[in-house]
């Protein structure tokens, strides 16, 4: 019994090797060949736009609060229409660990991951990306989402004026 087990144990690794010799190699000849990353791969971050072409980011600081390595910084500003945006927005990719927590925290779906992973370089300062570097001209993984239309913020329509909203309650009407 133990003799058969020993023979099997000796031959089995040869069989595994033989099977793998017949398989096609999985090696990707990088950088000549580029691998297509999975859609949920967490690569470089980007700032997206809503379907109307506006910047989605409202500079709420939630992403920087969620970031475990403090690599996001920004300054908030407000336009003439009352809409908030980031006057400047900076990500230090030398510190980013690509955990994706900032994308989870973002209420406007502004900050999203891309499949890009080629960030290596010799100059660390080139890995500090500003808003112009991060901002893209599309909606990323959620092209149809529009925060201002969904949230009913007064600058898009008067409060209670959106089809999905009910009109605000006048507290004086509740008096006995």
Distance of CA 129 to the CA centre of its chain: 15
Q: Contact at 8 Å (CB) between 56 and 50?
A: yes
Considering the complex, what minimum distance in angstroms separates the CB of residue 60 from ligand SF4?
4
Encode 21-48: b = buried (16+ Cβ within 10 Å), e = exposed.
eeeeeeeeeeeeeeeeeeeeebebbbbb
Point out which residues bind ligand SF4 (CB under 6 A): 57-63, 66-67, 69, 71-72, 74, 91, 96-102, 105-106, 108, 110-111
Of 6 and 70, nearer to ligand SF4 (C-beta) is: 70
Of 12 and 75, nearer to ligand SF4 (C-beta) is: 75
Of 30 and 114, nearer to ligand SF4 (C-beta) is: 114
Considering the complex, what minimum distance in angstroms separates the CB of residue 148 from ligand SF4?
12
Considering the complex, what minimum distance in angstroms separates the CB of residue 133 from ligand SF4?
14
Of 7 and 69, nearer to ligand SF4 (C-beta) is: 69
Q: Contact at 8 Å (CB) between 155 and 79?
A: no
Spatial distance between the Cα atoms of 30 and 163, rounded to a whole number of angstroms: 51
């Amino acid at each position: 019994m133990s003799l058969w087990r020993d023979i099997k144990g000796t031959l089995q690794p040869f069989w595994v090797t033989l099977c793998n010799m017949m398989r096609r190699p999985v090696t990707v000849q990088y950088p000549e060949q580029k691998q297509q990353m999975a859609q949920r791969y967490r690569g470089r971050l980007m700032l997206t736009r809503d379907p109307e072409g506006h910047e989605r980011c409202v500079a709420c600081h939630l992403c920087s609060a969620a970031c475990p390595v403090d690599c996001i910084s920004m300054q908030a500003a407000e336009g003439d229409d009352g809409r908030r945006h980031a006057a400047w927005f900076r990500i230090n990719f030398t510190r980013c660990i690509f955990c994706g927590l900032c994308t989870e925290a973002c209420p406007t779906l502004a900050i999203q991951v891309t499949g890009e992973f080629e960030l290596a370089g010799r100059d660390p300062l080139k890995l500090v990306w500003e808003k112009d570097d991060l901002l893209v001209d599309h909606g990323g993984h959620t092209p149809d989402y529009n925060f201002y239309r969904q949230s009913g913020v007064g600058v898009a329509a008067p409060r209670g004026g959106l089809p999905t909203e009910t009109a605000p309650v006048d507290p004086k009407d509740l008096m006995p």
